[in-house]
Structure 1
C-alpha cells in the first residue's frame, strides 16, 4: 500500500504541474515571462515522468522531498495564475513581475535538483526505457504516450538514458511514419530538442540524433519543421569538424532537406557550400560522404545565384578533377553535376571545357575500358548538353576519335546507350559540313539506315533526321546512293499505310538525292517508287515536290498522269 501512495504522489505532482500550465494560457500581462515559466514547468514534468517505473521512492528520501517541493511550487504557480488573470493585482505590476520571477526561480531550482539526483546515481534504471513499446495496431494515444516518454528521457536523462531513448526513437521512426508525425507535430519542441542534441559533445548521442533527423527529413511534409527548428547550422558544423560517421549522417540529412529547393538558401546562408566542396575535393573522404555532398550541391545549383557562387568557389575545378577519379560512382556524380551547372550557361560551359572535362568524357566512352552502361550514358548526355557550342570542345572531340566511338555504340551498344549515341550523332550532324563529312567518312550512314527499323519511334526519327542532314553533302550523297538498299529502304518506309515512321525527314532526304542524276535513277528504278507516287497523289506537299523534281528531268514520260500542273 505504501508503494501505491508514493506512485500517487508522483502522479499528483505531475497533475498539479499540468493544471498550473493550463491556468496560465489566458493571462494577457507579461506573456513572455509566463511562456518562460511554462517552458520550465514542461521540463520539470518531463523529468518527473522519466522517474516513473522501476524506482523505489520509499528508499529515496531526496526524491520524496523533491516531489513535495514540486507539488507546492505547482500550487503556488496556479494561485499566481488566478491572481494575474484578475483585473487588478494587489501590489501592482512591479510586485507581479517579482512574483513571477520567484516562481520561475523555484521551478529552475527543482530542475537543477532533479538533474543532480540523476547525476548522483540515486536513480537506478537498469531498464532505462520502462514504458512498453506499443504493439502493432495500437491506439494513437498509446503511441503518443510512448513518444512523450522517450522525449522526456531525452530532456532530463543522463547520457546512457538519452542514448537508449534515441535508439528506441530511431527504431519506431523507421518503422512507422505515424511516430514521425507525433514527434514533429505533437511533441512540444520535439524537433528543437533533436536539433539541440546535434550539438552535444558525446559522439554517440550526436550520431543517434543525426539518424533521427535524417529519418524525419525523409518526409517532405516535415522538412520545413526541421529547418525552422534550426537543424541546418549544426549539420553544417558537423560536416566541418565531426567524425567521419557523423559527417556521413549530416550529409544524408542535408541531402534530403535540400530536395526542397526552398531550403537551398538556408544551407548556403549558413556557409554550407564551402565544406561541401571541400569534401568533394578531398581524396580522404568516404564514398558515401562524397556521393551525398555531390547530391546536395546538385540540388543547390538549381538556384542561379547559388550556382554562380559555387563556380566562384572553385566548383568546376573540383568536379572536373572528380570526373577523373578511379571510382566510377564519383565520376558519374561529377559528370552529372557539371552537366547540371553548365547546360544553360554558356560561360560555365566554356570554363568546364577549358578545365579539360572533354578528355574525361571521351575516356569513359573508350570501348576497351571497363566502364558501365550507366557511366557511358551519363558521359554521352554530358557531351550532348554542353560540348557542341564552344568551338574548342568540338575540336577536342573530333581529335580524340570521338566519332569512331559513336559508331561503335551505334553498332554494338545496348539500347539505352545506342539511343544516347544517336542523339549525339544527330546533334553532330547539324554543326557543319565538315562534321557531316567526317561522319560519312567514318561509316555512320549504314548504321543510321539500320536504325530506321528500330522499335522506338524516337530512334527512327532521329536516324531519319541524321540521314537527311548527312546526304545534303555531295560526298555523302554519292556514298549513300552507291548502295541500292539505302534508297530502297527510304522509299519502302514511305508506304502510305505505314504510320510508324515520320515522313518529313525521309522526303527531305529524297529531295537531296534528286540533286544527282544517279540519285534520280535509283529512285525511279526502285520497286517502291509507287509509295512516293501514292503520297503525291494524296496531295502530300513534300512528296509532290520530290515528284516534281523528278518530273522536270528526262524521266518526265515515266510519270505522266501522276503530276498535273
Structure 2
C-alpha cells in the first residue's frame, strides 16, 4: 500500500527534497512517489474546495500508480522517464503547499485559490498523459510488475479506491502481462466484496477501459474483462453504467468471434443485463439474436452446456419483446428449443423449458405449434421417472405443462393419452417434499380441467393417495387434498370405487370431529359425503359407521348448514330409523 506521511512534515519545507541526491531514474521515482503519498495523506483532512481536491486526489492516485508501476519495470536509466520526473516532483511540491494552505485556511482569497487549484489539476493531468504516452510507446518494459497489495479485510473506502485506481493505471498503461495481472486482481476483489464493485463504478474510466478490452485482439484480455463485467452486471444498480458505456455491442462481438471462455462470460453477462427488457432491443440491434440462435442451434448433444445454457437464458429473456419473439419463431426457435429440452445438461434443460413456456404463454397459435412439434412429449419425457433429470428440472417442466396445456380440452386429452396422469401420481407418491407438494397442486388444477381428467385420475389410483393427505400436518395440503377428492367423487365411476374401501368413509367421518381441529376442511369433507349419498352403498356405509355421530354434532352446532343438509338427506325414507337409532344410541 501507499506510504502515508506525517502531518508534522508539513510545517516547513522537508529537507529531503532540498538536498542534492543522485538524479538516477529509480531515485527520482521514489522521491516523486513518496511526495505524492504525502500530499494524498494531507488532502484527506481538507474540507474546503472539496470538489477540486477530489479531482486532485484522483489525478495524484493515478500518477502515483503509474510511478509505482514504472519502478517495477526493467527500465534502467531511462532518459524519457527521467526527463519528466523533476516536473512531477515540482508539481507535487506545489500541491503539498496548496494542501497546507487549504488545511489551515491561510490562503489570501477564494478566487485566487480556485485558480491555483485549477492550474494544479491541469499540470497533473499533463503528467498523467505524458506517462501514459511513454508506456504506450513501449519505452518501459514490464519486469516483475508487482501489483500493489490488496487492502486487508475492513479496509477504508479510500484504500479500496486507491487499490482500484492502481489497477486502472496498470490496465491503461501496462503491457499485456501487466494488464492481465491487473484484470485478474480486479476480478478477485469484485467477486469477494461489493465495495470494490462500487469503487469500479465510481473511479474514473474503469468501466470504459473494461468495455474497451472486450474488443481486444488478445483473447486473454478479452476473457478477463468479460469475467469482471459479468460480476458487475449482477448488481442491478450498476447495470445502467455498463449499458451506457456500450457494453452490449461489445458483448455481442465477443459472442460472435471471441474465445470459448470469453463467449461463456459474455453470455452470462447478457443474461443478467436482459432481465430488464429495455436492454433487449440493444441486443437485437447489434445482431445478438441471430448469434445466440446460431449458438443454440449448434448444440448436437456434444456442445458444451457452459455456453449453450446461458445463451438459452438470454433468448428466454428476449422473448418478452413481441417483435423479437416473432423473429425467433420465423427462425425456427421453437423446434430448436424443443430439441434442447432433451439435453442432458441441467442449465440447458431449465432455460429451454423456460423459453418454450415464455414464447407460448398467452399465444394460442404458438402453443399449437409447440404441440405439433412434440412439445407435450418433450416435457413429459422430463417427468418420466425412467429418465435421469434433476428435481429442479422436473419441477420446472411440471409448471410449464400446467401453464401451457391445461386448456383447451384437446391439450388435456393429449396429456392423458401420453401418460401424464401416471407420471403425476408417481411424484405425489414418491417425490421429495417440494416436488410432492407441487405435484399435489398440479393434480388439483388438472382435476378441474375436464370430466375425462377426473376419470383418468380415478382410474390411476389418485383417490387412495389423496385420502392419505387428509391427515397431513400442513393445512394447505389437507385442504387441497380434500377439495381435489370432492371433485373426483362427483364422477359416478370414481364414487363407486371410493366407497368400496370402508376405511375411506370412516376416516372422513372421523375428521369431521370438531375436537380434531380440522374445521378448515369440513366444507370439502361434507361435500365428499354428499356425493357418496348418491349411491345406496355409500349411504349405508355412512350411517353404519361408528363415526356417523359426528354429522349430528355438526348439524346441532348451528355452525355448518352443509352438515344439516347432509343429515337431512341421510334421514329420509328407509334410512331414517337406522340413522335416528345411531344418533340416540
Q: TM-score, normalised to structure 1's length?
A: 0.80
Shift of 1:302: 4.7
1:213 is aligned to 229
**CA–CA separation in structure 2 for the residues paired with 1:58 and 1:243:** 37
**CA–CA separation in structure 2 for the residues paired with 1:6 and 1:428:** 77
For residues 8-50 of structure 1, give each alpha carbon's deviation from its aligned partner in whole angstroms, at most 9, with x where no partner exists: 467889999xx9xx99x99xxxxxxxx9xx9xx9999588546
2:527 is aligned to 508
Q: State yes or no: 1:282 paired with 2:282.
A: no
1:482 is aligned to 500
**CA–CA separation in structure 1 for the residues paired with 2:154 and 2:554:** 68
**CA–CA separation in structure 1 for the residues paired with 2:133 and 2:450:** 83
**CA–CA separation in structure 2 for the residues paired with 1:323 and 1:373:** 15
1:240 is aligned to 256
1:228 is aligned to 244
Secondary structure in structure 2 of the residue aligned to 1:503: helix
Q: State yes or no: 1:291 paired with 2:278.
A: no
For residues 342-377 of structure 1, give each alpha carbon's deviation from its aligned partner in whole angstroms, at most 9, with x where no partner exists: 344433332222221111222233333333433333
2:366 is aligned to 348
**CA–CA separation in structure 1 for the residues paired with 2:390 and 2:32:** 69
5+ unaligned residues in a row in structure 2: which ranges? 1-20, 94-110, 113-122
Q: State yes or no: 1:170 paired with 2:187.
A: yes
Shift of 1:250: 0.8
Shift of 1:300: 3.5
Shift of 1:257: 2.8
Segment of structure 1 superposing worse, 417-426 or 44-53? 44-53
Q: Say if 2:316 and 2:351, in contact at 8 Å, map to a contact too.
A: no
Flag the 1:512–1:72 CA change in 2: closer, same or farther, 3 A: same
Shift of 1:199: 0.9
**CA–CA separation in structure 1 for the residues paired with 2:209 and 2:415:** 55
Segment of structure 1 superposing worse, 173-182 or 297-306? 297-306
**CA–CA separation in structure 2 for the residues paired with 1:130 and 1:487:** 78
For residues 391-444 of structure 1, give each alpha carbon's deviation from its aligned partner in whole angstroms, at most 9, with x where no partner exists: 442232222233333333333333333333333332332222233223323333
Flag the 1:443–1:5 CA change in 2: closer, same or farther, 3 A: closer
Q: State yes or no: 1:320 paired with 2:338.
A: yes
Q: State yes or no: 1:538 paired with 2:546.
A: no
1:430 is aligned to 448
**CA–CA separation in structure 1 for the residues paired with 2:70 and 2:157:** 21
User: In structure 2, which of residues 206, 224, 232 is the aligned counterpart of residue 190 of structure 1?
Assistant: 206
Flag the 1:505–1:350 CA change in 2: closer, same or farther, 3 A: farther
Q: TM-score, normalised to structure 2's length?
A: 0.78
Shift of 1:458: 2.7
1:399 is aligned to 417
**CA–CA separation in structure 1 for the residues paired with 2:459 and 2:136:** 86
User: In structure 2, which of residues 258, 283, 288 is the aligned counterpart of residue 272 of structure 1?
Assistant: 288
Flag the 1:113–1:530 CA change in 2: closer, same or farther, 3 A: closer
Q: Say if 2:73 and 2:145, in contact at 8 Å, map to a contact too.
A: no
1:522 is aligned to 541
1:61 is aligned to 79
Flag the 1:58–1:127 CA change in 2: closer, same or farther, 3 A: closer
**CA–CA separation in structure 2 for the residues paired with 1:106 and 1:477:** 90
Segment of structure 1 superposing worse, 47-56 or 144-153? 47-56
Flag the 1:114–1:552 CA change in 2: closer, same or farther, 3 A: same
For residues 259-291 of structure 1, give each alpha carbon's deviation from its aligned partner in whole angstroms, at most 9, with x where no partner exists: 445544443444333322322222164211122
**CA–CA separation in structure 2 for the residues paired with 1:361 and 1:534:** 49
Question: RMSD between aligned alpha carbons?
Answer: 4.1
Pairs within 5 Å for 1:82-481: 110=130, 113-115=133-135, 117=137, 119-120=138-139, 123-185=140-202, 187-283=203-299, 285-302=303-320, 306-481=324-499
Segment of structure 1 superposing worse, 265-274 or 198-207? 265-274
For residues 517-543 of structure 1, give each alpha carbon's deviation from its aligned partner in whole angstroms, at most 9, with x where no partner exists: 322222111121211121111221211
Flag the 1:514–1:61 CA change in 2: closer, same or farther, 3 A: same
**CA–CA separation in structure 1 for the residues paired with 2:403 and 2:216:** 46
Flag the 1:140–1:431 CA change in 2: closer, same or farther, 3 A: closer
Segment of structure 1 superposing worse, 365-374 or 471-480? 365-374
Q: Say if 1:384 and 1:423, in contact at 8 Å, map to a contact too.
A: no
Q: Say if 2:254 and 2:262, in contact at 8 Å, map to a contact too.
A: yes
Flag the 1:137–1:73 CA change in 2: closer, same or farther, 3 A: closer
1:89 is aligned to none
Q: Say if 1:195 and 1:234, in contact at 8 Å, map to a contact too.
A: yes
**CA–CA separation in structure 2 for the residues paired with 1:311 and 1:460:** 43
Q: Say if 1:43 and 1:111, in contact at 8 Å, map to a contact too.
A: no
Pairs within 5 Å for 1:43-58: 45=63, 48-49=66-67, 51-54=69-72
1:80 is aligned to none
Number of aligned residue pairs: give it: 527
Segment of structure 1 superposing worse, 257-266 or 65-74? 65-74
**CA–CA separation in structure 1 for the residues paired with 2:394 and 2:69:** 60
Q: State yes or no: 1:554 paired with 2:554.
A: no
Shift of 1:320: 0.8
Q: Say if 1:50 and 1:153, in contact at 8 Å, map to a contact too.
A: no
Segment of structure 1 superposing worse, 284-293 or 363-372? 363-372
